[in-house]
Amino acid sequence: MKCVINRRAQFSAAHRYWLPELSAAENEAKFGEGSQFPGHGHNYVLYVSLEQEIDENGMVMNLSEVKPVIQQEIIDPLNNSYLNEVWEEFQQTLPTTENAARVIWQRLEPYLPLVNIRLFEHPELWADYQGNNMEASLTVGTHFSAAHRLARADLSYEQNCEIYGKCARPHGHGHNYHLEVTISGEIDSRTGMIVNLQKLHDLLDEVVVEHLDHYFLNEDIPYFAEVVPTAENIAVYIGYLLQNPIAQLGVTLERLRLIESPNNSCEINCRELSEPQGEPATQQAALATY
């Protein structure tokens, strides 16, 4: 039987987003604060996922063999380094999070049965790479606060309480929602990016945060006049909001994870999103003009 195991490692390194063939103004326009001299640093966290048949010793691989490979091939050369100069690959293609995950895969593939490399630049930005040429995925996090009430209009208060418990109380309640958005695309062979990160953050702020933050969803968002704003339905709605704008950035919306509280979260596969049902025409027009 096959099994996936994960090994965690970490390193600290600096990098700069700067292309010598561009002027200072062009670099700043393309990379924003990331182009500033002499660069900036991160405490990176790396997860190496391996898959094989479970052997007679009950292992996919002996971790005493895995750890020194990761240490020698990745941690020793990258820790406390300036990534732009440490490896030749980063001189050709900038050391973005997604490209770093790709190059780490290439460095480890001769030694380990890899199925995924996940590299965290910080807790709200990470990349996944699975050996598919220049294709990678990037996950960014954001948050908003909103109130909701869980109740169906066709049911009595007592019936709603049987389904939704305290969440059916008439004046609603609020959450500090954390949203993780995963996109996928091709890594640019020069910039190392699958998307302009600043444009992605700006899009999330405008399309999701400004649209939902500090609102009572049942009354302020027309979609939830007919749809109960559970975490699951909020995630689907955000998927509807983001589908077209994300596509306009040249990447694919893959997944959304909505964390309602430390104990409750949901995740949807955005490739399975159908056309929104009952979406008000005014909202459709607003999305079309983004």
| Residues involved in catalysis | 167, 214, 260
- Cα–Cα distance measured from residue 52 to residue 111, given in angstroms and rounded to the nearest whole number: 13
DSSP letters of 84-107? HHHSTHHHHS---HHHHHHHHHHH
CB 49 within 8 A of CB 6: yes
H-type helices in 11-117, by residue range?
24-31, 63-70, 76-78, 83-86, 89-92, 97-108
CB 70 within 8 A of CB 105: no
List of residues 6+ apart from 11 with CB closer than 8 A: 44, 46, 74, 75, 78, 79, 80
Q: At what angle do helices 231-248 and 197-204 cross, to 10 degrees?
A: 140
User: Where do the DSSP E strands lie in 132-172?
Assistant: 135-148
